[in-house]
Amino acid sequence: MINLIDRKADQLELGTLFNNIYNEIAYDFPEENKPEFIWFDFHHNCKNMKYKNLNILISSPIFKKFINDKQYYHLCIPSFYNNMKKFSKKNLAEKPIKILNTQKGVFRTNCIDCLDRTNIVQTLISRHFTHQIMIILGISDSKSYTGKVFDKFHKNFELYFNDLWSNHGDVIANSYAGTGAQKADFTRTGKRTYFGAFKDLLISSKRFFINNVNDFYYQECQDLFLSKKAVKDAIIISKPSDKIFYSLTILTISYFLFWLSKIVRKTR
């Protein structure tokens, strides 16, 4: 279990409660099956765009132990399965399906909304296991992976991998919050930028607006998806337009620039 919320203010209270509940539940587990718990304060460790500090999480003893113990599922299927015309009991007896490795656990990751911080850490976990799998299959050289959080794949695959996880984060965030995921510049390029931070500011503003004005639509969608409400009882509504938000944003910026120009003229 990886908990990414802050160790201060309201999130500290929530995180402490979560940690206490974990301790009570884990107490009854036998030692060999006890779930591990990591509280990694993402915002504190990665503030000022120091995302290289994610290595603290990836290289922690608990994280490494879990990766080595739990592994991943690896199934070896004979090549004749690609052509079902060649399939026979004889072939199956001579070259049976082999389970080379089994997965013994999962990473359960959370932040507050389980959107932005969560997607980054899940991406890093996926990157780590994908490296291991590609090395075992002979696709990558073992020298290409040092165990660090920023170890890259081959150039072309790196682009596909980053796009996959960035798009995944955007889809989840849009369905829940009405915007794309924050910190997407890091997920897509492996680098945190000032432009990405500015874009996150706009996303935060839009989420604030949606939460206070247009949240009904997204709540209705979530209730339907989670079967909290029957389809026959749902209120048919259209997805709210973004025009109101962008209009208010333009008016706010214009108003700010207007007063800024007045202040500048007075100081001359």
Give tens-digit pLDDT for 58-117: 888 888 777 777 678 888 777 655 555 555 666 666 667 788 888 888 888 999 888 889
The pLDDT score that the predictor gives to residue 205 is: 84
Query: Higher confidence at residue 171 or residue 149?
Result: 171
Contact between 105 and 69 under an 8 Å Cβ cutoff? The reply is: yes
The pLDDT score that the predictor gives to residue 67 is: 75
Is the CA virtual torsion 197, 203, 206, 207 positive or negative? negative
Statement: residue 176 has pLDDT above 60: yes
Residue 3 pLDDT class (50, 70, 90 cuts): very high
The pLDDT score that the predictor gives to residue 204 is: 85
How far is it, in rounded angstroms, from Cα 38 to Cα 41?
10
Give the 3-state secondary structure of residue 237: coil
Residue 17 pLDDT class (50, 70, 90 cuts): very high
How far is it, in rounded angstroms, from Cα 25 to Cα 111?
20
Contact between 115 and 168 under an 8 Å Cβ cutoff? The reply is: no
In the chain, where are the structural domains located?
Answer: 75-103
Residue 14 exposure: Cα atoms within 13 Å on the Cβ side: 13
Tokens 């960035």 found at: 166
How far is it, in rounded angstroms, from Cα 160 to Cα 138?
19
How distant, in Å, are the alpha carbons of 86, 87, 100, 101 from that of 94? Answer: 13, 11, 17, 20
Q: Kindly provide the b/e burial profile for residues 166-192, where b requires at least 16 CB atoms within 10 angstroms of the residue's own CB.
A: bebbbebbeebbbbbbbbbbbbbeeeb
The pLDDT score that the predictor gives to residue 236 is: 67
The pLDDT score that the predictor gives to residue 28 is: 81
Residue 222 tokens, joined: 């979530």
Statement: residue 240 has pLDDT above 70: no
Stretch 172-196: mean pLDDT? 83
**Nearest CA-CA partner of 190 in 47, 5, 52:** 52
What one-character DSSP code corresponds to residue 154? -
Query: Higher confidence at residue 161 or residue 206?
Result: 161
User: Mind listing the pLDDT tens digit for each residue in 111-163?
Assistant: 988 888 998 899 988 888 888 888 888 888 777 777 777 788 888 888 899 89
Instruction: Name the pTM for this structure.
Output: 0.76
